[in-house]
A and B are shown apart, each in its own frame.
Chain A
Amino acid sequence: MREKVVRLDVREDIRRGREPFSKIMQAVAQLGEDESLLLTAPFEPKPLFAVLAQRGFLHNSKPLDSGDWEVLFSRTPPTGTPAESSEADSSRVNVIEVDARGLEPPQPMVKILEASADLPKGTELLARTDRRPMHLYPQLEQRGFSASSEEQTDGTFVTRIRRC
């Protein structure tokens, strides 16, 4: 099944010296649940990746022959298999997902902390757990991470972890 893709070209804005950020965020805010955003820009908009990752978007960028870049922002699937395979292409993907569901405590915490140990700056760790990871927060804080958890409709939790 293909998702609907909304296109946004900010090359002209940047050429004219206009700040495209608010335009992009507006487009993101208007995206439907099953829609993705295809952004065309004159460079790879790296700072945007982290901002949109926090809003639950994965990104996939590729250079065009013209020297411009196309980036596809798509929503993180709400449930699914561990996306640890996404680690394989770390040069492109800035969200690492760890599925720590279905484990007996304290294994979810161990798994997430191990994944966070070599998390590059600017990369977000997205951890899925069965419960709100209460014991994880102080450990993450001590290690210089910020974290926020959100309950999903199925009662599980998604915690987004980033280096401060």
Chain B
Amino acid sequence: MLTNPLKPARTAPATANAPDMSLPLRFILTGLLALFAAVGWLVARPDILATYHYNQYVIAVTHLVVLGWICTVVMGAMYQLVPVALETRLHSERMARWQFMLHVVGFAGMVWMFWIWNMKQVGHFGSVFAFGVALFVYNLVRTLLSVPRWTIVATAVTTALGWFSLTILVGLSIATAKCTYESATELSPTSLLGAMIHGLRSVAGYMARFDQIGAMHAHAHLGGVGFFVMMIVGVSYKLIPMFTLSELQSKRRAACSVALLNLGLAGSFLTILLRSPWKLAFTLVMVAGLAAYGWELRAILRARKRRSLDWGIKYFLTAVALLAPFSILAVVLSWPGLRLTTFTGQLENLYGFLGLVGVISFAILGMLYKILPFLVWFGSYGKEIGRSKVPALAEMYSEKWQVAGYWLFLAGLMTTSVATMYSNTPLVRVGCALLALSLGTFTVNVAKILNHRLRPRITPLKFKAPTLSTLAHEPKVESRVSGLVSAS
């Protein structure tokens, strides 16, 4: 048995356990700005979703969503969560700060260059982005190497990082293949620049073997499922038991879900890239992995000690439930010999939209309702806990706005999905406007939360522990405490 008597207070500065709160906050707020920009963009240009996705505008908005919003938030959250969840410390906070700058310059430049379709510059900004990703992956791998005991969460995070790295490599290769290399004839392959240009030309030549849309879909799958879904699956095995007061019910089932997802992903990548009819087999393996995940999640929830689920968890679980229609769509779209028609093309759009917005973004918004208040609360009130009465996490934002945001998001999602399927441009605008309203409610709550950073609300402690703020979430204990108050 590994007991590992970790003694942070004695052996090293304990503050290094998790990075300073401003680091993940910076990533999360930047991500939210990108999400607002992307949804606003779709309201202004609904035709992006209502037409087939192989064009520069769809690619630009998609990268704004996946790199600007999802990647940024996931990276910030991982710098915070991975050390805490896996009981270790972040390898380097300074490296993470550098990565943030490379990341923002990289993704903003990429989105802009996709929009004006300048693939050479996409490659340049993509390289800046990739350099940031290399720092991110290196930093987390070093962190993972110091994990005292390996869990399924660590495995999921590690494989997600692997798929993410591969996604970036494939993406850069696709960009390389879309450039021309006239200067190669004038440059000697022995010079530094010449060697680089000749190397890029060989990559472009190699990529020419593959179908362009196949390569793009394979790249999108690696990123969407390999990085984002894998990360959500892995992290939720830690967070859902923690927030619902439960425990992982079957380690084997959890391991099985991660293994099946990985196996399916490897096979899907190759079969999508090569446009092989075996695609369906691997889609089914992945669906089996997701089913095992859903099953385990259900078992965790059934064993929970906290009966009521808060809305942050409801956002997350609804997103997970949306994996069901997403999986059905995946099976339909991988059917051997499926012909590309206007309708099936739109189903592909729907598949991407449902995956990125319905599943991943909705899940992240739910998780942010747990992470963001905690980050601000810990940063603003950390020193005062136990000395003064500090607000409870749930008091930092409005539940009414949160509930409104939930229903607006669902309404927006359904409307946009139907509109996308039938190429109905005005309806896409309505759906995206509903999504924008939902994000508006989120903004109100983010502002309320951040206000605690600007104006902390601390009142002197009236009686000794426990206080109401400590136990506000626990109805049973609350009555015990109120009994205590009336007794005192």
Residue ranges of A at the interface with B (Cβ–Cβ < 8 Å): 102-107, 109-118, 131-132, 134-135, 137-142, 145-151, 153
Contact = CB atoms under 8 A, between A and B. Distances in A.
Most buried by A among B2, B83, B245: B245
A23 to B, nearest CB: 26
Contacts of A115: 386, 465
Contact of B6 (A102, A139, A149): A149
Contacts of B10: 146, 148
A50 to B, nearest CB: 16
B406 interface: no
28 contacts: A103-B245, A104-B245, A104-B474, A105-B243, A107-B470, A110-B386, A110-B466, A110-B467, A110-B469, A111-B465, A111-B466, A112-B386, A113-B386, A114-B464, A117-B386, A134-B17, A134-B83, A138-B8, A138-B15, A140-B14, A141-B9, A141-B14, A141-B15, A142-B383, A147-B9, A148-B10, A149-B6, A151-B2
Interface of B: 1-10, 13-15, 17-18, 83-84, 87, 242-243, 245, 305-306, 374, 377-378, 382-383, 385-387, 390, 393, 464-467, 469-471, 473-474
Contacts of B382: 138-139
Nearest to A106: B374
B226 to A, nearest CB: 28
Nearest to B467: A114
A2 B308 CA distance: 43
Contacts of A109: 385
A116 B14 contact: no
A135 to B, nearest CB: 7
Contacts of A139: 382-383, 385
- Counting chain A CB atoms within 10 Å of each CB, the highest count among B13, B17, B306 belongs to B17
A105 B242 contact: yes
B405 to A, nearest CB: 22
B385 A138 contact: no
A148 B7 contact: yes
Given A103-B474, A113-B385, A137-B17, A148 B5 contact: yes
Nearest to B2: A151
Nearest to A107: B470
A146 to B, nearest CB: 5
Nearest to A146: B9
A103 B393 CA distance: 14
Contacts of B84: 134-135
A58 B387 CA distance: 27
A106 B464 CA distance: 18
B4 A151 contact: yes
A106 B378 contact: yes
Nearest to A137: B14
Contacts of B474: 103-104, 107
Contacts of A149: 5-6
